[in-house]
Amino acid sequence: MKLVRLDLGLLAILFGLAPALAADMPDTSTAPAATRPSAVITLATKVEDGQKEIFATVTVNGKPLENANVSFSAPRTFGKLILGTDQTLDDGTAAIAFPSDLPGDAEGNLNISAEILSPAAYAGAHNEARMSGGKTRTPAGDAYPRALWSPNAPRGLIAVIVLLVAGAWGSYLFVLFQLRAIRKGADS
């Protein structure tokens, strides 16, 4: 086979692989950005009627976008947890209740994302923000407590076993002393 330069070959493999890999991935728009007006989302929290809410304001070229479907989510280890969807009002805002019972990090901070689902022209536009107010992670308890199932035995169990075994072998020791007495008796 012909000798091929390493760098070009690697690039080529990537291009060859890309279509095969891309078969599993959703199609992303390849239209150049310049011909599409981009939607901008800003995220904030607000307390309305005593209830904390997440507001996403969608604007296009500075003007609020109405009737856009916005989905709110928080990333979890294995996937994206959808918190809710809302349609933007005439002021371009969509809101959902803040998930204050959703576990965040140690201080209760959550990464919230908002993404536009429709209209198709702006679909895919998204923004993330870090917000406080989620549930704090409870500190992990003792991973290996003294228990029947853990590597560490309950103290009571240890005490009982030691006592019983010591009792039996202690009496054997006593017997050994008697044997010594018998041996000694032979010499007298």
Report the sign of the C-alpha dihedral through residues 76, 93, 96, 105, in that order: positive
- C-alpha 92/C-alpha 94 separation (Å) is 7
**Which residue number, 31 or 183, has a Cβ lying nearer to another protein?**
183
Phi/psi of residue 106, nearest 5 degrees: -60, -35
Whole-number Cα distances in Å, 130 to 39, 72, 90, 150, 154:
20, 13, 26, 38, 44
Q: Name residue, tokens 């103290």.
A: 155
CB of 141 to another protein, least distance (A): 9
CB of 50 to another protein, least distance (A): 23
CB of 186 to another protein, least distance (A): 2
Q: Is residue 81 at the binding interface for another protein, with CB under 8 A as the rule? A: yes
**Which residue number, 27 or 174, has a Cβ lying nearer to another protein?**
174
Q: Considering only 30-38, 48-56, 95-103, 114-122, which stretch makes contact with another protein by CB under 8 A?
A: 95-103
Residue pair 58/68 in contact by the 8 Å Cβ criterion? yes
Q: 76-108: buried (b, 16+ CB within 10 Å) or exposed (e) per residue?
A: eeeeeeebeebebeeebbbbbebbeebebeeeb
**Which residue number, 67 or 150, has a Cβ lying nearer to another protein?**
150
Residue pair 28/21 in contact by the 8 Å Cβ criterion? no
Of the candidate residues 91, 124, 150, 163, the single one contacting another protein (CB under 8 A): 150
End-to-end CA distance of the chain: 101
Each residue 4-23 as x (binds another protein by CB under 8 A) or -, in order, gives: xxx-xxxxxxxxxx-xxx--
Q: Is residue 25 at the binding interface for another protein, with CB under 8 A as the rule? A: no
Of the candidate residues 37, 46, 48, 169, the single one contacting another protein (CB under 8 A): 169
Q: Residue numbers of the site for another protein (CB under 8 A)?
A: 1-6, 8-17, 19-21, 76-82, 101-103, 137-138, 140, 143-144, 148-151, 153-154, 157-158, 161, 164-165, 167-169, 171-172, 174-175, 178-179, 181-183, 185-188
